[in-house]
Amino acid sequence: MSTSVADQFTVVAATGGATAPKGFAAAGLHCGIKAKAGALDLGILAADTAVPAAGIFTTNLAQAAPVTVSKRHLETNQGLVRAIVVNSGCANACTGTVGMSDAGQMAAETAAQLGCQPNQVLVASTGVIGVNLKMDKLVPGIRAAASALDRDNGGILARAIMTTDPFPKEHAVTVKTARGTFTVGGTAKGSGMIEPNMATMLGFLATDAKVSSALLQRALRESAAGTFNAITVDGDGSTNDCVFALASGASGVEIDDELYPALLAGFYEVSRELAVGIVRGGEGATKLITIAVKDARTAADAMRVAKTIANSPLVKTAVHGADPNWGRIVAAAGRSGVMFDVDRATVRVGGILLFENGLPHDDNAPKAAEHLKQKDVSIDVDLGTGGGGDATVWTCDLTAEYVKINGEYRT
């Protein structure tokens, strides 16, 4: 039996982030948006030339100016982008016509420095809502960043996009295929105001595979479904969420429909690592919680149940306190709005059975409590509805530190 080209690939972890693929350079610096001296607050990710690009955006109807501008640019630039310019410390959201003008000026200034059209620059911002950008700081900052672009600056870019993130997030993989090897890399930020309806955070992916804008958009959207769209910290979707992907083609490996699974696998591996990193670094988080729901009528139903459990403050606080309170998990599943048979469902924490067929197994509670003291926690729910639909969601515990961070965010 013959094996297709699509079956002949392997994905291997690599070093670096968004500039690990060939054909990209980055810069990051402090321009003065953040008050703290030396705190990086501006970054650029640039391709050597205008390259195929894709983007997905927040579904929040209160969309920030950079989201609107970047959407417009992707609609008018024939899918070709030279660079992404991003600032942290100010969201440029709910800032009216001034905010729109500022986002456009960020693109125009970057384009002028790189010698491309303004609509070949995508714009992203993150930080406090309702505050205008300091354009007198940003414009010279963009000029300085454009002159400092280097392939070795991927890690600096990862730091420049952080707000309350406790650590930078970047990842890369090489994908070895029968036609050659290409690389996928990326960086992301996010810590609070995290629940995706496409990709709740900022994320930038790059590849040196040769990909059309249409296939790139497909890979970005499909990989996000089980990664960036499968995380939640606090159930709040931001005004500024976006994920961009750029493809330089510098590896010479051309992606067609047959080789598409290899590209998707690379995107998925990078996106999952970044997405889980966002949750692990959630505001105030001390535990990463993996919630797997099985045997729903559909995968969409399973995702809805998993998200309901993941966003339950009662479940999240119980995990923080190492309390194996299976009742909170069952209650969340039962109110999720999908078919749920409590007399057939099972709940396991750390693989330890706590609830089955409508009855508790409280004798196992001490073992489950020990599992909940670990930094990585698992909750498995079988709905028992016979549909075979599965989904996995990643979340974190809810702590007093989360309240402190967000109670003082603007002060």
Active site amino acids: 200
Match 């454009």 to its residue by tokens: 146
Q: Are 203 and 57 in contact (CB under 8 A)?
A: no
H helices of 194-312, where?
A: 213-225, 260-280, 299-310
Q: How would DSSP label each residue in 369-395?
A: HHHHTSSEEEEEEE--SS--EEEEEEE
- List all residues 6 or more positions away from 359 whose beta carbon is below 8 Å from its beta carbon: none
Burial of 341 (0-12, 13-18, 19+ CB in 10 A): middle
For residues 19 and 153, is the Cβ–Cβ distance under 8 A? yes
**Bridge-partner residues for 202, per DSSP?**
189, 242
Take residue 292 and report the two structure tokens written for it.
């797997």
CA 326 to mean position of chain CA atoms: 29
Question: How many angstroms separate the CA atoms of 208 and 212, rounded?
Answer: 12
H helices present in 115-153, as ranges: 135-147
Helices and strands (DSSP H and E) totals, the chain: 11, 15
Query: In the numeric block, which tokens belong to residue 335?
Result: 């109110």
**202/182 Cα distance (integer angstroms):** 24
